[in-house]
Amino acid sequence: MSAFPHRHLLGIEGLTPPEVTALLDRSESYVEQNRRADKKKSVLRGRTVINLFFEASTRTRTSFELAGKRLGGDVINMSVSTSAIRKGETVLDTAMTLNAMHPDVLVVRHPESGAVKLLSEKVNCCVINAGDGSHEHPTQALLDALTIRRRLGRLEGLEVAICGDIVHSRVARSNIHLLAIMGARVRLVAPHTLIPAEAERLGVEVFHDMHEGLKGCDIVMMLRLQTERMQGNFLPSIREYFHFFGLDYDKMANAKPEALIMHPGPMNRGVEIDSVVADDYSRSVIHEQVEMGVAVRMACLELLSANLVEAPQHNI
């Protein structure tokens, strides 16, 4: 029985604690390897990984590319937003075209929620969701969990505040699910306009005041605020947002003294986070998150493609 008995990694919701633990344990083993001069392994030799990005991305795509290459796989990047879609091809047509080239893993990002799932139903290979709309971004949640686990030794029982644009955030949703699965307690902190409807039903506690919401927490997870949300439809202005919801030392003082600051990046300094807080390396683990990202993606690529060998090839 495989440690991760799934063909795809489309989301965190529905995973079990042992499955998450297996992914994190495997990731852990790659952290040290990535710090060595010789980073290369060969578990993916002969395998083809295609990064299929329907939405602009730098860090996630680079992270997956590095992960694939360090495991010895052949990695190809496709930015579809600049090619086929412009010519009118549908998501499924693009997927089928690539499928015909027999990739082993497709890493897919798409601006529409559910698009990666749709695509996964039509291809023979494994699919890793690298972010679909406002739905899920599972590898981000895993790398966040790994960062926390390495720093604090556990996830269970921790108080985690996820702050900012929850309503549009796939990072928030994946983290909510993962932290709940692993027994952490999650609070969401944002103005009402940035909290999705019936958010409490996801098993979280909702706050609308940073000072209240950060009180006694172990982890402060900030989210990126998209510029288009700042123009008056969700929020009046950047300065008002920063004043009430931007993370600064004053608000941070409510958290536990040793609490960690996280951000999935890219950051808007002076919008959701004060520069000095972001750069405070005694608290901020933002760069560590990026480092863990590569390790987590290596583990995901390895565990999923390991299943492929056992899975019978079926043709569509």
**Which residue ranges make up the site for other proteins (CB under 8 A)?**
191-193, 208, 231-237, 239-240, 243-244
Which C-beta is closer to other proteins: that of 181 or that of 271? 271
Q: How far is the CB of 236 from other proteins (least distance, A)?
A: 4
Which C-beta is closer to other proteins: that of 30 or that of 234? 234
Q: What SS3 class is residue 262?
A: strand
User: What is the enclosing helix (H) or strand (E) of 173?
Assistant: helix 170-181
Q: How far is the CB of 192 from other proteins (least distance, A)?
A: 4
Give the distance, in angstroms, between the CA of residue 273 and the centroid of all CA atoms in the same chain. 19
Is the sign of the CA dihedral 291, 294, 297, 303 positive or negative? negative
Q: Which amino acid is at 16?
A: T
Q: How far is the CB of 218 from other proteins (least distance, A)?
A: 25
Which C-beta is closer to other proteins: that of 153 or that of 232? 232
Which C-beta is closer to other proteins: that of 86 or that of 192? 192
Which C-beta is closer to other proteins: that of 214 or that of 301? 214
Q: How far is the CB of 99 from other proteins (least distance, A)?
A: 40
Which C-beta is closer to other proteins: that of 168 or that of 297? 168
Contact 194, 164 (CB under 8 A): yes
Q: How far is the CB of 223 from other proteins (least distance, A)?
A: 16
Separation of alpha carbons 299 and 21, rounded Å:
12
Q: What SS3 class is residue 279?
A: coil
Which C-beta is closer to other proteins: that of 87 or that of 192? 192
Q: How far is the CB of 209 from other proteins (least distance, A)?
A: 8
Q: DSSP states of 87-117 as a string?
A: GT--HHHHHHHHHTT--SEEEEEESSTTHHH
- Nearest by Cα to 130 from 301, 14, 269, 248: 301
Q: How far is the CB of 234 from other proteins (least distance, A)?
A: 7
Q: Which amino acid is at 51?
A: N
Q: Which residues contact 271 (CB under 8 A, 6 or more apart)?
A: 225, 230, 238, 241, 242, 246
Separation of alpha carbons 185 and 157, rounded Å:
6
